[in-house]
Amino acid sequence: MTADRNTAGAAPPRTLFAKVWDAHVVAQEAGAPALLYIDLHLVHEVTSPQAFAGLRARGMSVRRPERTVATVDHSIPTVPDGAAAADAMAAAQIARMEENAQREGIRLYGTQSPGRGIVHVIGPELGLTQPGMTVVCGDSHTSTHGAFGALAFGIGTSEVEHVLATQCLLQRRPGVFEVRLTGRRPAGVTAKDIVLALLARIGVGGGTSHVFEYAGEGVRSLGMEERMTICNMSIEGGARAGMMAPDDTTFEYIAGREFAPKGKAWENALGRWRTLPGDEGAKFDRSLTIDLGELTPMITFGTNPGMGLPIGDPVPSPDDLPDATQASALRKALAYMALEPGRPLLGRPVDVVFIGSCTNGRISDLRQAASVLRGRTVAPSVRVLVVPGSLAVRRQAEAEGLDRVFLAAGAEWRNAGCSMCIAMNGDQLSPGQYAVSTSNRNFEGRQGKGGRTFLASPLTAAASAVTGRITDARRLDAEGVRS
Amino acid sequence: MKEFTRCSSRMVPLLVDNVDTDQIIPARFLKVTDKLGLGEHLFADWRYGADGRPKADFILNDARAQGAEILLAGDNFGCGSSREHAPWALAGFGFRAVISTSFADIFANNALKNGLLPLRLGGEDYRRVVALAAADPAARVTIDVSSQTLELPGGVRCAFPLDAFAKTCLLEGVDELGYILRFRDRIEAFEQAAGRS
């Protein structure tokens, strides 16, 4: 867009992040944040009503309604017969989203739409999410869309209003944190295990004020849905966004989807997208390498996603931590979880298994869970919810007969939504219950007041559903539970 | 947004690291369509027992929290979700500043847009302030945005970082959207140049 962009010989090598950022800076005044153009604005019912109200109070309307896409996912119930919202407030919030979208001329995947689903599942599925874009949503898991080489991050409601009004946002340029994935992962190690291993290494504040740029042959070997799982939980490391350079895997995923470019426009887009990967020699502010060959299935034991460990390891002891603050945080977490240090989680009884969410609610996740549950039954003591991330995922799963696998095993086959990941829609844990959950947050009360969450992969979740205890899916046959 | 120049208050210590926004305001309170009334749900699950009564041992239920405007928090405050309900709830309770060694990015952005100052101190100053709050619960400290200092009793001043833009917004009560709207022509030109019109 600017002349100096063409003097390639003099330009220093740039990261993927820098290329996308630079291409979207509308203005940059000295001492002020950059004014960044937003290509795609995703909106849901929980974080938008105050933004639309603010816009109206100023007598403004949405600047680019065609760049805004809305759905209802957080407070919508997932009961299979499509019953009404959990309560009057949730119903009012859903109705407000639908009114706001209609008034502003925004495309809405509402309660009755077959395209409805979790905002971070439907964006990619509809082909709305594309490489090189800036994507925002009033939702921290917007980082998911970075799997396509987009710069995608969560924003607050004031910022939702800014984007509705101007299609722009004021942003301070973050640092770039390279996460290099090398080696080949052993069988039974999923994308969820990779990201939980990263979080266990850096902690929940390790990526603050940075964007993760995942690189290395370990990324190339991942499918798009696996990439989304990893980028999704970048925010759990404190990074606003996680990005992966687009490649043929990316292009194959996008091709032919509803909002993907078609014909000549597709060829042009491919040409642009192929220039996005970071240049050789581009500098990162921080770097870290993870050898996938050393990983095993991971599970969390504490009350933040950084408190994770290899599934066979014992729960750490506060007495082994030299830092008093860390020791006290661990003590607090173990008290909430009612866990004893020094003992492994394996074999520990659980009450609920939740398979779903924007982290692990896509078709490949459901296929993994079904591969474990096929021909098996869930333990009678466990409630198992399988919640597709979107109605399209639900239809695809049914076309493949996965719903029958889940139902035959004794699991609940639910409607699409955020469900028990956010616990504001009727799906929630009771106080004191333990859950193995494929979602992204194990904060105190996240899945219901007093509920206790172990985050893990769909394989681990499904294996634990079968035994009723925390189970390593690789050892399920050894436990002799196939019926 | 209301201007923020100075604030003088007792501190309310909540010295837990990695306090996430699900603790600040649990998701079940996010079904609102306005910003009001969230202060009473601030830290709901730590603040109220199963019977709905205030827990005597939680700091927000202590007399020193009543009327206080400064929360003294642990590292990486506000991690987790992007919900702006978190600063709305803190401001709704009456807080005007949160002191910590670091803040989650989205929380800090959201806080500033609501005139709630995320005040970051270096380790040594932070420890000094924590010691002060422990030794003298009634101690008042004064935040001065213009000089970017936190003044302790006895005149000790701790400097804190604040970028020039955020500082101007606080001091003058600048509405960020108003600032962005000044770039209307640039936005239009950008859309045309980039084929986004």
* ipTM score: 0.97
Q: Does A86 have pLDDT greater than 90?
A: no
Q: Which of B80, B109, B187 sits opposite A166 (nearest CB)?
A: B187
Q: Which of B17, B106, B180 sits opposite A156 (nearest CB)?
A: B106
Q: Please, what is the average pLDDT of chain A? A: 95
Q: Please, what is the average pLDDT of chain B? A: 96
Q: Which of B27, B84, B180 sits opposite A156 (nearest CB)?
A: B84
pLDDT at position A87 is 87
Residues of chain B found within 8 Å of residue A424, distances taken between Cβ atoms = 27-28, 30-31
Subunit contact A424:B106, Cβ cutoff 8 A:
no
Residues of chain B found within 8 Å of residue A1, distances taken between Cβ atoms = 190, 193-194
Helix axes A157-166, B105-112, angle to 10 degrees: 70
CA gap A83, B166 in Å, rounded: 46
User: Closest Cα partner for A479 from A372, A343, A340?
Assistant: A372
Number of C-alpha atoms within 13 angstroms, CB side, residue A36?
A: 25
CA gap A343, A327 in Å, rounded: 17
Q: Within the 209-228 window of chain A, which residues sit less than 8 Å (CB to CB) from chain B?
A: 209
* Pairing status of strand B6-14 against strand B140-144: antiparallel
Q: Does B48 have pLDDT greater than 90?
A: yes
pLDDT, average across residues B143-165:
97
pLDDT band for B194, please (50, 70, 90 cuts): confident
Q: From the candidates B58, B84, B107, B163, which should be mutated to test the interface with A, based on the most A CB atoms within 10 A?
A: B84
pLDDT at position A296 is 98
Q: Which of B17, B102, B186 sits opposite A208 (nearest CB)?
A: B102
In this predicted model, what pLDDT tens digit does every residue of A34-77 receive, in sequence order? 999 999 999 999 999 999 999 999 999 999 999 999 999 999 99
Residues of chain B found within 8 Å of residue A75, distances taken between Cβ atoms = 31
Subunit contact B181:A46, Cβ cutoff 8 A:
no
User: Closest Cα partner for A156 from B49, B151, B190, B176?
Assistant: B176
Minimum distance, in Å, between the CA of residue A320 and any CA atom of chain B: 18
Residue in chain A lying closest to B181 (CA): A166
- Residue A392 token pair: 């399209």
Subunit contact B184:A166, Cβ cutoff 8 A:
yes
pLDDT, average across residues B100-122:
97
pLDDT band for A80, please (50, 70, 90 cuts): confident
Inter-chain CB pairs, A–B, below 8 Å: 178
Tokens 């979700």 appear where? B81
Q: Does A1 have pLDDT greater than 60?
A: no
Q: Does A4 have pLDDT greater than 60?
A: no
What is the SS3 assignment for chain B? CCCCCEEEEEEEEECCCCCEHHHHCCHHHCCCCCCCCHHHHCCHHHHECCCCCECCCCHHHCHHHCCCCEEEECCCECECCCCCHHHHHHHHHCCCEEEECCECHHHHHHHHCCCCEEEECCHHHHHHHHHHHHHCCCCEEEEECCCCEEECCCCCEEECCCCHHHHHHHHHCCCHHHHHHCCHHHHHHHHHHCCCC
In this predicted model, what pLDDT tens digit does every residue of B53-107 receive, in sequence order? 999 999 999 999 999 999 999 999 999 999 999 999 999 999 999 999 999 999 9
Q: Within the 50-79 window of chain A, which residues sit less than 8 Å (CB to CB) from chain B?
A: 50, 53, 58, 74-75
* A166 part of contact set with chain B, CB < 8 Å: yes
Do A458 and A192 touch, CB atoms closer than 8 A? yes
What are residue A212's phi and psi, to 5 degrees? Answer: -80, 135
Q: What percent of chain A is modeled with pLDDT above 70?
A: 96
pLDDT at position A39 is 98
